[in-house]
Structure 1
């Protein structure tokens, strides 16, 4: 046996043979009572911590629900769907004109502070200019940002494919989950199809004979457009103070009525028109400037 083992054995024997003072049962009971009293306090402390965490989570949940209800009640969303074959004319709270196409829909917050519109389908926008508040049209895949201009957006429901066609002004188009953006000038179309983005200048062929569903008129003389409309709809155009060499850019859908096309022409050309269905005549004239009145 090693010396260290011998020393350990000797210490144990001395401890065993030593005399100790007797401890009363009361002292033992008091000691146990003290020990037990500490256990519930620790448990209660842990329970309180868990309870505080629960209350905290509940408070956050209530705040989120309250915020959602507040914005839903005090900033409701307007939803508009067009079931008719003709374009539905909508004036947004900021004065922007929307021509909503057949089976298309838009939604926007009624207070319209942020000027955000969600679109499904196709619509023409004539945006009121506001240099302090940008205007955005959002589809499933793209966001088109402008300050004031006229353009057309087409986005089929359930698909990311989107086409943005610019007629006047400037727009900026971005695609979901992509860093780059595309700036358009009049006469250009942004096309997003099957995950690929491109900008194209559209050439105009004033005919539906090729089976096209629409015609993009790109900077074409107004008189040529009117000749096409006269032949297609059988109306005679009488123009007053409108220069025939003026050029226009717009989209003409195969299903558009003459009135729908004239509505768009009036917006982008700053003109008014009068239709006479009996005589099959259309009169075009410039919009009169509003003169200020002195009170």
Structure 2
């Protein structure tokens, strides 16, 4: 596979990361994952906007990565993926410097890595059809979840806990409020209102989350960006996660207890259909 590394297109296997890169040493870095549907990238500008947000707040020397969109399109072409599903991975670090906690002076050049890979959506499609099981876990992450940094230790541990309990996702609970999943945003339906946590430093502003809220508005589905309290979750008729690879996936059991009738609900089905229409344009 051909990848893009520090301004050059080159074989992925030939790329080497220096051991004094701050992304390697401190997770002083950001990433994005963009879905490619046959023939087009899905909302690349929104992903780059989120990457730029993180770059500003991390005070990286480069704060506008819009130049990557044509790079990504070129990678899709060079790897002959134009007619199939694929994932784009973007990784940017502060760069290389002697190991020291403060930012290096002067600013190093950021390390920039972009790769593309084929993506088989069939397994995810089965999960979307049948729904998934999820668990809740305490939110032990740091307080800047709005930045898509690579420091994902808490997410990895929580997702492993889900796997060990036969679940596909773990939902973080902070101060009695369900926030988001380890790699997804979280939504609940109360009295026919699609509810999701409001944007804050405690959740990632998901591109799929944003898209689903737009679909709801156009479809006259009521929405509410408000806290989802743990002590009220049993009142939800439907639960679901949203994400780049999961799209809209119903949760049919939470902590071993059925959600609603234990099957994907009508709101999730309607959102899935509308999302499929949007991505097939």
More RCO (CA 8 Å, sep 6+): 2
| TM-score normalised by L of structure 2 | 0.27
Q: By percentage of residues, which structure has more strand?
A: 1
| TM-score normalised by L of structure 1 | 0.26
